[in-house]
Amino acid sequence: MCECVGSGARSRRPRGASLLQSSPDVANKNIQTLDGLGTANTPHPLQAAFVEEQAAQCGYCMNGILMTATVLLDKNPNPSDAEIKRALDQVLCRCGSHLRVIRAIKHAARTIQARA
């Protein structure tokens, strides 16, 4: 499942479907993708935490996981394991890095809260 974030709302597409949306659907809306989340020199706390926790295996699912986690932490800055699992329910990771993903999201949450 691919994911992008537009004006705080997620846009999900079924696995294998195009991420394309018609222009009128996104006109005058902010669209955030993984490319805009951070940079190599100044990564978003989620990106830094995923590296530090070695949460990515093949990386196939990381776009959907990172953008879903971005929305989650925007809405809930201190999510529980259950809330993280519920948020990521529709994002498939075939590598089984779920425990590391949860650890990384909680790591990022602590970093974001420390900076606030």
Q: Which residues sit at the interface with ligand FES, rule CB under 6 A?
A: 56-61, 93-95, 97
- Number of Cβ within a 10 Å radius of residue 14: 8
Tokens encoding 28: 């005058």
Q: Which residues pair with 88 in a beta bridge?
A: none
CB 37 within 8 A of CB 46: yes
Which residue's CB is nearer to ligand FES, number 4 or number 104? 104
Which residue's CB is nearer to ligand FES, number 14 or number 24? 14
Distance CA 25, CA 112 (A): 31
Which residue's CB is nearer to ligand FES, number 26 or number 95? 95
Q: How far is the CB of 71 from ligand FES (least distance, A)?
A: 18
Q: How far is the CB of 60 from ligand FES (least distance, A)?
A: 4
